[in-house]
Amino acid sequence: MARWIPAALFCLGMVWGQAKYDLLVKGGHVVDAKNGIDGVMDVAVAGGRIAKVAKEIPAAEAERVVNAQGLYVAPGLIDMHVHVYAGTGLKRVYTGDLSVYPDSFSFRTGVTTMVDAGTSGARNFEDFRQRVIDRAKTRVLAFLNIVGGGMGVTSENDAADMNAAAAVEMARKHKDVIVGFKVAHYSKEGWPDVDGAVKAGNETKQPVMVDFGYVSEQRNLKMLMEDKLRPGDIYTHCYGGHRDELLNGKTNPAMETGRKRGIYFDVGHGGGSFYWNIAMPMVRQGFWPDSISTDLHTGSMNAGMKDLPNVMSKILNMGMPLKDVIREATWAPAQEIGRKELGNLSEGTEADITVLSVQKGAFGFVDSAGGKLNGERMIVAELTVKRGTVMWDRLGLAAVDWEKYPYKKRGAAR
């Protein structure tokens, strides 16, 4: 079990505040896919950035030391499918009460970056930004919905509100946080949603995430994968089963075609888009996801999805190796959204770090219908560091024993 390294090891003759490193995560099993690291290493932080990753960094060189022995040290987790446009007061829609404030859910689950999946569109993105993104400690990025009103202000079936030019203008104006475009829930014939988003994506050279809605003879997975999406676009809810991802017990050949063309497949668990009777046959046939995400909202967080470590645990217990599970919640999504400065522990990058434990026992994992898969391993977020600051510490790994803590003198009680 990880323990706090005694405060006496901090200084060894150095004055508090003059150490070489601000934080040292020591002795953990580091998994950093970008840099090909999969073994026990130390990670040092200075000035909010990764200062050094090495086999042995002396504890005496750091002000604050965490003993991560027996734990896994990863880049800050990236949840690339969430809904966090909260606070508008709108009832029963994602642009309101169905969304979750990011800071209330991110750090406690090991997540340092959230990507809002099209909750807002060109007409309300700036409200979303000032209301949530700019106030959050979590790094919040966004896919912009091709529907101007996003998810709730107007219908996502309203082709008249799908304005590619307006989406492009907004994406260019806010290129620091908008990473692509999103289509979702369209339930009519034709392709105004996908065609509009792809047009916007071509103009900005950004990906499109598709939550594919209605399927018919004229609108189906084969056409989507072969004719509509481009290499680098993202198909979310890959184990949803609502769009014929599984046909007669076999993975739809269109999914394989899409993968060969360079389309990414994202979990996007959600409240109704992950089922064992879809996922298990597909992975047994070798169709694994490219990235792991939650589709976080007030419904999914209180149902089978729960949080990102829980979804990662599901994929782990389905048979994916742990290092690949971690990659699919760090470096893989960073590449998919075109933010390669994230999802890794390269020296000089912002110090987003997640320390995970993998607990062994008897666990149950519930899908969107209520079906259960029994598993033996559970991933738990123990410590979350954002830009060098400890934001979540489940068991006090980065805390000083109270008898050694340098408490400030307090005034008289009132």
Mean pLDDT by 10 residues, the chain (414 residues): 41 56 98 98 98 97 97 99 97 96 98 98 98 98 98 88 98 98 94 98 98 90 98 98 95 98 98 98 98 98 98 98 98 98 98 98 98 98 98 96 90 64
β pairing state of 49-54 and 178-184: unpaired
In a domain, 355, yes or no: no
Residue 266 near residue 293 (C-beta atoms within 8 A):
yes
| CA distance linking residue 15 with residue 63, whole number of Å | 9
User: Under DSSP, is residue 401 helix (H, G, I), strand (E, B) or coil?
Assistant: coil
pLDDT at position 17: 52
pLDDT at position 154: 78
In a domain, 393, yes or no: no
Helix axes 164-173, 192-204, angle to 10 degrees: 40
Domain of residue 180, residue span: 77-306
Residue 28 near residue 45 (C-beta atoms within 8 A):
no
| CA distance linking residue 174 with residue 178, whole number of Å | 6
User: Under DSSP, is residue 15 helix (H, G, I), strand (E, B) or coil?
Assistant: coil
In a domain, 271, yes or no: yes
| CA distance linking residue 217 with residue 158, whole number of Å | 21
| CA distance linking residue 38 with residue 30, whole number of Å | 6
- Domain CATH for 134: 3.20.20.140
Residue 368 near residue 311 (C-beta atoms within 8 A):
no
> Which two structure tokens, joined as six digits, stand for 361?
């026992």
CA distances from 201 to 164, 167, 172, 174, 206 (A): 9, 9, 11, 14, 5
Q: Which residues contact 263 (CB under 8 A, 6 or more apart)?
A: 225, 229, 230, 231, 232, 233, 234, 235
Q: 10 Å Cβ neighbour count for 202? A: 13
**Locate tokens 């992950």: which residue?**
274
**Amino acid found at 160:** A
| CA distance linking residue 341 with residue 133, whole number of Å | 19
Please state whether the predicted TM-score (pTM) of the whole model is above 0.85: yes
pLDDT at position 412: 65
In a domain, 252, yes or no: yes
In a domain, 356, yes or no: no
Residue 374 near residue 33 (C-beta atoms within 8 A):
no
Radius of gyration of the chain (CA): 22
Structurally, the chain folds into a number of domains equal to: 1
In a domain, 26, yes or no: no
In a domain, 130, yes or no: yes
**Amino acid found at 378:** M
In a domain, 398, yes or no: no
